[in-house]
Amino acid sequence: MPIDFQITRRTALIGAGLAAAACSQSQTFPPRPAQTGVFRHGVASGDPLPDRVVIWTRPTTDAPSLDVRWEIARDPNFSRVLASGTVEARAENDHCVKVDVEGLEPGRDYIYRFIADGETSPVGRARTLVEGDLARMVIAFISCSNYPAGFFNAYRALAGRADVDLVLHLGDYIYEYGMGAYATERAEEFGRVVDPPHEILTLEDYRRRYAQYRADPDLQAAHAAAPWITTWDDHETANDSFATGAQNHQPDTEGPWSERRAAALQAYYEWLPIRDPAPGRDQAQAWRTFELGNLATLFMTETRLAARSPSITDADFPVPLDSDPDDAEVRERVRRFLTEEVGDPDREMLGALQRQELEAAFAASTAAGKSWQVLGNQVPFAPIFAPVYTRVLPRYVLWYARMRGGMVWDYVRRTAFNIPLTFDSWDGFPAERERVYQIAENTGANLIVTTGDTHTFYAADLADASGARRGVEFGTSSISSPSEFDGAPPGVNYGALTVEANEGVLAFHEPQTRGYTLLELTPDEAVATMIGMETVHQPDDTRSHAVARFSTRRAAGGGTTGLERQIV
């Protein structure tokens, strides 16, 4: 993890601010919903295909079950209902309702609503995927929506955009912490105290936390505006989770990990507009493929709960932090740690089955002549090393870090040994990353990796261990989760330090702005525009600006042409 001036267990990249022209959004869809009545959690759509889409709602009722009518039309007045039906909202599913509506036409907008107990829900807009020719598509990707940390202004701004075809949520849709833990310092001030107030562990806990998030009107507006494709990262279960446990799970006091994992996944599938796993699949095997016309293939990965090996932690570091980093024996111990322990080829993120299906999807995509192969990815993919802070930070910042002590000072000292920025990213699984690069090479993929997790904006060129270019990566900032540098001493361009430490890989870093990223795909070019919010500490503020914009072009034989910075 980077210098953690807030002393949390989160990880983040480090960046520098960039002023840009304002581009605030004011239009909203739908109107701000009421927080009372039957449909107080709004509506949503997700997992679109050319002929179908999942629509979702949750009626508020104390009854064991409630009949809910759903309707789909082309216009918000429902002058002609194209499809309809009735589904039962059951207490055993927390009264959540999902309908996989079939028989739709490709590349069409549909308006949907629900009716129950004499009330009609807000309307939502769904859109099926295009088949065949597709000249342009705009995908918004987002992550890290932390309810007590601030307001969901980015969701409201995103809902006001008419140009977004699809929304990808790349993880940390909720956070599991209780009051007094990460990012809750201003929760009472914001009127956003988490429910339940303790760390969530049980199925009832997870359901209550989702209910609180889904009651937020800005989140509801973003869900209603466009279809979402979602995947989880760690906080939907517990911090730094892996297949058999998590950093923030203690079996001796919190029970078996398998029970917590099952509760978290059940609540996720209940509350999100995601298609349930195919028969025979474990709920953790949530990776899936979406074909974006003849333009691109999107593969949404799962990197936490199905196959991920246990995390490398600070306790695994092989030398005392007061060791001399220039000592030959110390350097050799660190080298062996990075190559033999961190680089162990048995360490996995995706697992064999997911890699096999990823390669099949990309092979079919390039064989069909599609321009882009896109990964929906949770944590940083590019190899990113921490600056040696003991050498590059000014004395007053080093003094500040020393006075903070604990994790802050330990991390600053650890960077003297030339280590990756964090081991919770793909840098903790470099052999698995090379296997993905091999898939890209085998299939001739023009690879674009879209990434969340870091609460920063960044852009990186991707190359394998041999130096061969494999693609590009765009990292989006958080919806509301704080930057690790919000409390850092001023006067230092922290982002520039990180870019300088990763020359040839990292092209941009900006950590202190919340927001989302737009990815515009055309047959020959992909353009990522990073949109920053003016604030998340005041409600109803949708002012935003373009933080940075990068483009890349597809390359013959795969790999893309690399990043090009554009003026914003």
pLDDT value of position 32: 52
Structure confidence at residue 4 as a pLDDT band (50, 70, 90): very low
Q: What are phi and psi of 512, to 5 degrees?
A: -110, 20
Query: 167 and 95 in one domain?
Result: yes
Structure confidence at residue 14 as a pLDDT band (50, 70, 90): very low
Q: What is the DSSP letter of 277?
A: P
Q: Which of 370, 397, 419 is the last residue of a domain?
A: 419
Average pLDDT over every residue of 550-558? 90
Chain segment 75-112, per-residue pLDDT in tens: 999 999 999 999 999 999 999 999 999 999 999 999 99
Return the percent helix, strand and coil in the chain, to nearest 5. Answer: 25, 25, 50
pLDDT value of position 35: 62
Does residue 22 register a pLDDT over 50?
A: no
- Give domain status of residue 431, yes or no: yes
Q: Which of 395, 419, 443 is the last residue of a domain?
A: 419
Query: 103 and 245 in one domain?
Result: yes
Does residue 27 register a pLDDT over 50?
A: no
Query: 506 and 398 in one domain?
Result: no
- Give domain status of residue 1, yes or no: no
Query: 336 and 257 in one domain?
Result: no
Q: What are phi and psi of 299, to 5 degrees?
A: -115, 110
Chain segment 239-252, per-residue pLDDT in tens: 999 999 999 999 99
Q: Which of 375, 402, 419 is the last residue of a domain?
A: 419
Query: 466 and 330 in one domain?
Result: no
- Give domain status of residue 22, yes or no: no
Chain segment 31-49, per-residue pLDDT in tens: 455 467 999 999 999 999 9
- Give domain status of residue 133, yes or no: yes
Query: 234 and 154 in one domain?
Result: yes
pLDDT value of position 561: 86
Q: Please, where are the H alpha helices in 482-550?
A: 494-501
Query: 414 and 481 in one domain?
Result: no
- Per the CB < 8 A criterion, the answer to whether 440 and 559 are in contact is yes
Chain segment 452-487, per-residue pLDDT in tens: 999 999 999 999 999 999 999 999 999 999 988 888
pLDDT value of position 36: 72
Average pLDDT over every residue of 493-500? 92
Does residue 23 register a pLDDT over 90?
A: no
For residue 178, what are the contacts with CB-CB under 8 A and spacing of at least 6?
184, 194, 196, 197, 198, 199, 200
Does residue 220 register a pLDDT over 70?
A: yes
Query: 334 and 198 in one domain?
Result: no
pLDDT value of position 47: 98
pLDDT value of position 491: 93
pLDDT value of position 235: 98
Q: Average model confidence (pLDDT) for the chain?
A: 93
C-alpha span between 281 and 263 (Å, rounded): 17
For the stretch 58-75, what's the b/e string if a residue is b when 16 or more beta carbons lie within 10 angstroms of its beta carbon? bbbeeeeebebebbbbee
Query: 390 and 529 in one domain?
Result: no
Q: What is the CATH number of the domain that holds 108?
A: 3.60.21.70
- Per the CB < 8 A criterion, the answer to whether 90 and 65 are in contact is yes
Chain segment 60-75, per-residue pLDDT in tens: 999 999 999 999 999 9
Beta-strand runs (E) in 305-403:
372-377
- Per the CB < 8 A criterion, the answer to whether 114 and 35 are in contact is no
Structure confidence at residue 29 as a pLDDT band (50, 70, 90): very low
Split into its structural domains, the chain has a count of: 2
Chain segment 399-430, per-residue pLDDT in tens: 999 998 999 999 999 999 999 999 999 999 99
- Per the CB < 8 A criterion, the answer to whether 109 and 125 are in contact is yes
Average pLDDT over every residue of 298-311? 97
Coil, helix or strand at residue 429: coil
Q: How far is CA 9 from the centre of its chain?
A: 17
Does residue 274 register a pLDDT over 70?
A: yes
Prediction pTM value = 0.93
Query: 324 and 249 in one domain?
Result: no
- Give domain status of residue 337, yes or no: yes
For the stretch 528-566, what's the b/e string if a residue is b when 16 or more beta carbons lie within 10 angstroms of its beta carbon? bbbbbbbebbebebbbbbbbbbbbbebeeebbbbbbeee
Coil, helix or strand at residue 533: strand
Chain segment 116-163, per-residue pLDDT in tens: 999 999 999 999 999 999 999 999 999 999 999 999 999 999 999 999
C-alpha span between 222 and 157 (Å, rounded): 8
Query: 502 and 367 in one domain?
Result: yes
Query: 369 and 390 in one domain?
Result: no
Structure confidence at residue 557 as a pLDDT band (50, 70, 90): confident
- Per the CB < 8 A criterion, the answer to whether 508 and 459 are in contact is yes
Task: State which residues form the domain around 326.
Answer: 310-345+386-419
How many C-beta atoms lie closer than 10 Å to residue 329's C-beta? 10
